[in-house]
Structure 1
Amino acid sequence: MTQAEAARRFRMKSFLFATWEGGGTVAPMLTVVRKLLHHGHRVRVMSDACNRFECEAAGATFVPWTRAPSRPDRTPASETVSDWAYEGAAGLQHAIDVVWAGPALAYAQDVIAELEREPAELVVTSEMLFGVAIACEAVGQPFCYLAANISLFPIPGVPPMGPGLAPPRTEAEVALHAEMRDGVVALFDHGLPAINTARLHLGLPPLDHAIDQAEAAQAVLLATARAFDFAPETLPAKVRYVGPQLDEPAWAQTWVSPWPPGDDRPLVLVAFSTTFQNHTAVLQRVIDAAGELPLRLLVTLGGSIDADALRPADNCRLAANAAHDAVMRASVAVVTHGGHGTVTRALAHRRPMLVIPHGRDQNDNAARVAARGAGLRLDPTASTSEIRMALRRLLSDPTIAEAARTLGNAVAMERETSPVVELLEGLVLANDRTDLCLAG
């Protein structure tokens, strides 16, 4: 063994990633996985069975959930979370029941079994999977959160998630934010009985609030850009921005324009959720609105909508999926539901957006785009004529394009200079030093 090989082997660490098929939850994780593999580390990924192909394509060892929920495929019929069928906060409560907290004990048992089979020096988990954090705390396993979006849990100085609030400007708005922050804590406490049941089963004391589970994590890494978020001047000690993690998913197809080379009409990409959010009617109104405009419209369906459910206009083409980086390079604007991955990718390409949020964190992403003037925001009930007016403005207003370039430059810089690998390696090294001190 050469000296260089010995040094590389000495540096190799073992990471276990834990995530779930929640649309935008997988690709950012796998981007970080790829980076760690590139640095010579060993990485396993626990996720739904349907994610095997993309995990192995990234070079990781794949481990499916067995006790915990595990989607066999990415078709709408196998969707675990149908939050679109609920009104308001009930949608998030449904997600908490069926994935985030309800099966916490099952997730915890799967993780403990995998760690017994093969230890890891650090577990990296989605902040949505309470059971993974419980398992790690129960067996003394170092772990951190890697959030594929802005923080779902309240952070002092950041508007609470949900309705898409901008930073407060008045004392009344400050009071409203505080009240809503308490509401977010209470909303997550919907899962507290299941969380505490899992904790008691594994010998841990009960929590007062569900979000208190984060205290056991070594770090909370936010895979978004500080420039995109409504970031406070000072973050809590454990929280760090690591920039958007935006590798293309392995299932994304190479994009070749279906239009003749001489067609110089501007291209607009329509990219909504890869999970079903009952958004067929909205997509159709976007298609109808753009049908009367001098542009080309590419609609990527992402596996969540059947092409037969839509009526494309003459200037519209439907694609099951396509590599969005390539499409965005050729486009002038993006119409999206406001998923974090699509929004930050569009910004990294300096593209203005029309955001039509449906729920989850999408209202909050839309608020951040609109507050910086980098795009427009419409309600999902917007009419065809309202969407057409917004598209006309998006394509003709130079101030929106300039704002998208300004914000996009900052987002792209944070993407390119992400410290995520160094931070994860630092957590492992800190644990190594602690073990040495204890052994001494």
Structure 2
Amino acid sequence: MSDDEADRPAARTYLFVLSDAGGTVPPEIGVARRLAERGHHVTVLADDPLERPALQAGARFRPTTGRVTEPFRDWAIRTPPGIARGMAEEMIVGPAPVQAADTAAAIDELRPELVVVSSFAVGAMIAAESRGVPFDLLIPNTYALPAKGMPPFGVGLAPGHGAMGALRDTAFGAAGRRLFDHYALAPLNAVRTDHDLDPVATMWNQMQHAHRQLVLTSAAFDFPAELPANARYVGPVLDDPSWAADETWTPPDGDDPLVLVAMSSTFQNHVECLQRITDALGELPVRGVVTTGPAVLPDAIRAPANVSVVASAPHRLVMREASLVVTHGGHGTVIKSLAAGLPLVILHHGRDQADNAVRVTERGAGVAISRRSSTQRIARAVGEVLRDDRYRLAAAKLGEVIARDAAGSALLDELEGPARDQASSTIT
């Protein structure tokens, strides 16, 4: 027996209940993989599209019994109330009753020591509470729950300063909570009642009932704030998605700087933007590699001679050769780029992307421009970041810490630690 094997705790049983939210899948499946590789018994309860990545991670797969819905078309909604209602109905409380029943059945059969859930898998959280099993919350981006000193999630703001900054954050935060609670709180509490649990005062309380909130990023990337005692920065999971991880890749010929373009793995109505980025690279002395992902067919993009367009390529390999990444600003792409020491040009589209963009620009590790920017504006931004070495140096400085956190043991230390010592900050 090796020293590493001797140091491992006895095998445990973990139940993961995951939502298929595009870019959140690779890091969450990566967490399951790390536990399976250490000999634990891991089962993933999720919709059918996650079966292949779960099995590839060494986990058992248990399908949900609910109807698999189409991806949430948030890109087609123009108003905050519309987005809040859509998220509540399609992603949060809409699936909760069936998810709670599926999770309760899985707990009764598998008897896990710990349930590990996606951020919006509220049905799984309710089932775990009702069965007296602790659950850990996976947050595969920056800290998204309300916290003193943290700018409101999804707005793309830098930290406020002084009394006016605190007032701004309080007002935005309260408005966001009221908006989500308007659509989500009553149906969430109905599910809690069905499982013999007391109601919660706000939707966010359900997430705050977690044994641990595992923030899958680096504290050096996020903004400082007063987080609850059960929140832990455990470092990012840098795994490539299953549909790209096993592919080979050869860099294009030439000596010009290599620019990787990596936009959303789910459709965000971004084909036109992707075309303008590709056209911009055609005006520059660079070698462009555009990965469209499963959301867009490569032949939807017209490519100039110095740009190759492919469905996928392992970003861990491409980034070893690249000088710059152009992206929509999803957390996975941003954090992997920085860990590789690469500066960024970000054209954020929605979700958490403006928040990631401001964390990059505040650290001087790239620039953010409108997703509606012209070809010429995009070309200027790419040229600026390539010419100014300060962006590369800032990205390398931040990336060194991120890479160290990704390689650290904090994630497994938390998941393999005591599962039954409830955090003192749990909110009821």
Question: What is the TM-score of this pair, normalised by structure 2?
Answer: 0.93
The offset of 1:202, in angstroms, is 1.4
Worse overlay, 366-375 or 247-256: 247-256
Gaps of 5+ in 2: 423-428
Alpha-carbon distance in structure 2 between the residues aligned to 1:381 and 1:277: 13
Q: Does the alignment pair 1:192 with 2:189?
A: no
- What is the 5 A alignment of 1:37-436? 37-67=36-66, 69-70=67-68, 79-89=70-80, 90-189=82-181, 190-232=183-225, 234-252=226-244, 253-257=246-250, 259-260=252-253, 263-428=254-419, 430=421
Worse overlay, 82-91 or 118-127: 82-91
Residue 8 to residue 333, structure 1, CA distance change in 2 (3 Å) = closer
Contact 1:24 1:341 in 2 (8 A): yes
SS of equivalent residue, structure 2 residue 243? coil
SS of equivalent residue, structure 1 residue 286? helix
Runs of 4+ in 1 over 3 A off after TM superposition: 6-10
Residue 418 to residue 159, structure 1, CA distance change in 2 (3 Å) = farther
Alpha-carbon distance in structure 2 between the residues aligned to 1:7 and 1:386: 57
The offset of 1:8, in angstroms, is 8.8
SS of equivalent residue, structure 2 residue 417? helix
Contact 2:9 2:416 in 1 (8 A): no
Alpha-carbon distance in structure 2 between the residues aligned to 1:243 and 1:291: 36
The offset of 1:85, in angstroms, is 0.5
The offset of 1:150, in angstroms, is 1.2
SS of equivalent residue, structure 1 residue 33? helix
Alpha-carbon distance in structure 2 between the residues aligned to 1:376 and 1:255: 30
Letter in 2 for 1:326: L
Letter in 1 for 2:270: H
Contact 2:37 2:58 in 1 (8 A): no
Alpha-carbon distance in structure 2 between the residues aligned to 1:368 and 1:266: 25
Cα RMSD of the aligned pairs, angstroms, is: 2.1
Q: For residues 254-312 of structure 1, give each alpha carbon's deviation from its aligned partner in whole angstroms, at most 9, with x where no partner exists.
A: 2423623xx11111000011100000011011011111100011111110012232111
The offset of 1:429, in angstroms, is 6.5
Contact 2:260 2:326 in 1 (8 A): yes
The offset of 1:91, in angstroms, is 2.4
Alpha-carbon distance in structure 1 between the residues aligned to 2:158 and 2:410: 27
Residue 355 to residue 154, structure 1, CA distance change in 2 (3 Å) = same
Contact 2:346 2:367 in 1 (8 A): yes
Q: For residues 87-123 of structure 1, give each alpha carbon's deviation from its aligned partner in whole angstroms, at most 9, with x where no partner exists.
A: 1422243122102222211110110111122211100
The offset of 1:10, in angstroms, is 7.1
Alpha-carbon distance in structure 2 between the residues aligned to 1:397 and 1:368: 19
Q: How many residues align?
A: 419
SS of equivalent residue, structure 1 residue 11? coil
Alpha-carbon distance in structure 2 between the residues aligned to 1:256 and 1:316: 15
Contact 1:270 1:336 in 2 (8 A): yes
The offset of 1:430, in angstroms, is 4.2
Residue 116 to residue 8, structure 1, CA distance change in 2 (3 Å) = farther
The offset of 1:167, in angstroms, is 0.9
Q: Which residue of the partner structure matches residue 22 of structure 2?
A: 23
Letter in 2 for 1:187: L
Alpha-carbon distance in structure 2 between the residues aligned to 1:225 and 1:88: 31
The offset of 1:407, in angstroms, is 0.8
Alpha-carbon distance in structure 2 between the residues aligned to 1:201 and 1:116: 17
The offset of 1:428, in angstroms, is 2.6
Alpha-carbon distance in structure 2 between the residues aligned to 1:285 and 1:405: 28
Contact 1:83 1:92 in 2 (8 A): no
Alpha-carbon distance in structure 1 between the residues aligned to 2:46 and 2:189: 23
Q: For residues 372-391 of structure 1, give each alpha carbon's deviation from its aligned partner in whole angstroms, at most 9, with x where no partner exists.
A: 00000011111111111101
Worse overlay, 207-216 or 345-354: 207-216
Alpha-carbon distance in structure 1 between the residues aligned to 2:279 and 2:413: 47
Letter in 2 for 1:213: Q
Identity of matched residues, %: 39
Worse overlay, 144-153 or 359-368: 144-153
Q: Which residue of the partner structure matches residue 435 of structure 1?
A: none
The offset of 1:357, in angstroms, is 0.7
SS of equivalent residue, structure 1 residue 426? coil
Alpha-carbon distance in structure 2 between the residues aligned to 1:286 and 1:93: 32
